[in-house]
Structures are given as structure tokens and as C-alpha cells.
Amino acid sequence: MNYNRRKFIQSTGTLVLGGMALSGRAASLLSNMAAPHAIGLQLFTFFGVIDEDVKGTLTKIAALGFKDMESAFSKKGGYYGMTPKEFKAMVNDLGMNWTSHHVLGAPFKLPPGTKLPNGADGKPMVIPPMKNLRDNMRELVDDAAAGGIKYLVCANSPTATLEEIKSTIEVLNKTGEAAKKVGIQFAYHNHDMEFHAVDGKVPYDLLLSETDPQNVKMELDLAWAVKGGKDPVEMFKQHPGRFPLWHVKDLDAERKTILPVGSGTIDFKPIFAAAKSAGMKHFFVEHDGPKDPLASITSSIGYLKNTLKV
């Protein structure tokens, strides 16, 4: 599906435990790191699979050690065929937290010449009409509030023309205001397209500068940003505190194939070391359209725990 949305490591200094003091270098590095966070998962990784057995899929995810869930689109519509409260109860009963939810910014359209992938039954997927912020903002915000989630995220919104960018900015600002009134933080999730200039202007730069920095935060998809030619650490320096949410996936050397975290070429160490300057509160593993979602996230969480020492 071409639409596919596009700790913390130990520092090189040594933290000596057991009552021994931190070296100056270690203390300096540690001060740049945020407090530990639970490892999260974006359920879009299981798109087309989770709807066959929602509870069974979530049970397997919980068993691997994932704690924060970010929900996405479902063939069943709504929240995997449930109300917000029902979905929250299921996630909580499995020892996890439902932290965030993805919605569309505008009506979904497949890119020209593309088709929906086949589902688990081998037949082309059929998904119900998906609500979007442009047309259904109030309902989507109210649903998020009913589910008690902390974040509502625009997963994608048109930015191919300056007119589309302007419309997207208007939608984001309006949603940010509405979400704030019900105690939810709103954010925007990027792909790589937002980093490609449109009539001499970079869409992502406009999204950052023309949306309210408090009401509209950013969920930075690290891999899509890298694919778009950006250095996440430099982005954090330029816009400190603007990126409370991250998506974590990997890419091959050609920046074409998505891979489990730690299986590709992205250097996550300096990125996670800059978590505090980013303002990162939660991060979610994601793999768009993997052949085996469970194998992919097993590999990713293993890398995060054993290599990055999350």
C-alpha cells in the first residue's frame, strides 16, 4: 500500500553505580537524555492482520514487552470494530496503555495506479470509509477524549501543492485548539514527502512555522525524515521540545526498503541520546507492510533492549 505512512542508549561515558560518582563527561551526557520510557508499538504494523483476531494479536504484542499502544486504521472501522472505551479496556486488561491514535487529515485517496494489498484471506482488502479531520474533526476529537488517550495524531494530510499545504495547516490548527479543550495533545506525523520542496517551499518547514507550537506538536517518523534528507538531531536543535512522539523504523542503504529497527543503516544512538532536546515522551516501533509483523517487532524490540539498552 503506497500510502503507507511515510534508551535510550548508553552513553560512551560510564555511569558507575553503587554509590560512586558520575564522571563529568558521563553526567553531561546523561543530562541530555530524558527519563526512561516504555517501548511502544504503532499498530499500523499489523494492518490487515490485527482485524482477524484483535485480542489475540494484542496478547502476542504484550508478551514481547511492548507497553504503549498507538492505534491506527482498521478494516472493521472505528477502533478495530470497538468503541474507544471498549478498545481501551482490552488494551489495559493486557497490561498495556493506549497512548495515541492516528487519524487522517483529509479524505483518503490511493495514489494513481495503486491498489489496496491483499488481506490475510488472500483477497483484496476492503475497508470502510475512514473519517478525517477536515470533515469529521469534532467527532474524532470527541472519540479520542472518550478513550482517554493522551495524543491524537494526524497520520497524513495533503501537501503536494501550496493550496493543499495551506488547507492542511488550517485543519491542524483547528484540531489542535479543539484537542486542547478536551485535554489531549495533538500532533502531526510525517512521511518523506513533506521534505520535498513545493514551488520553492518545504512543506514541513511551513507546517512547523505556521501551526501553533503548543497545540500542534510533531510525531517525527525518524526513518521518513532521514529518507527526506533530514538529520533528526539537527531538527531537535532547531525546534527543541516540538517532538514528543517518535516513530522508530529502519531503512536499507538505498532508503527504499523498510526494515526492523537495528536491521538497516540508520544510526539510532545519537538520535536517542538527543531525546531530551526533542522533548520526546513516547516512541513507537513501526514497520509499514512487513511480511511477518510479529517477527519484525520481535527483532526490533530485541535490538532496542539489548543493543540500545532501552
Task: Give per-residue pLDDT as tens, 29-50.
Answer: 434 444 467 999 999 999 989 9
Residue 112's pLDDT is what?
64
Mean pLDDT of 107-126: 71
Share of the chain above pLDDT 70, in %: 85
To which CATH superfamily is domain 37-109+126-307 assigned?
A: Divalent-metal-dependent TIM barrel enzymes (3.20.20.150)
pLDDT band at 127 (very low <50, low <70, confident <90, very high): confident
Task: Write out pLDDT tens, residues 187-223.
Answer: 999 999 999 999 999 999 999 999 999 999 999 999 9
Residue 121's pLDDT is what?
72
Residue 261's pLDDT is what?
98
Please state which of the ranges 25-29, 211-215, 270-274 shows the lowest mean pLDDT.
25-29
Confidence check: pLDDT of 274 > 90: yes
pTM: 0.86
Residue 25's pLDDT is what?
42
Of 145, 156, 161, residue with least CA distance to 189: 156
Mean pLDDT of 5-24: 35
pLDDT band at 109 (very low <50, low <70, confident <90, very high): confident
Mean pLDDT of 224-240: 98
Residue 34's pLDDT is what?
40
Residue 65's pLDDT is what?
98
Mean pLDDT of 52-56: 97
The three cell numbers locating residue 156 = 497524513
Q: Across the chain, what does the average pLDDT equal? A: 88
Residue 221's pLDDT is what?
98
Residue 113's pLDDT is what?
65
Confidence check: pLDDT of 279 > 50: yes
Q: How many C-beta atoms surround the C-beta of residue 38 within 10 A? A: 14
pLDDT band at 91 (very low <50, low <70, confident <90, very high): very high
Residue 124's pLDDT is what?
75
Residue 2's pLDDT is what?
39
Residue 4's pLDDT is what?
43
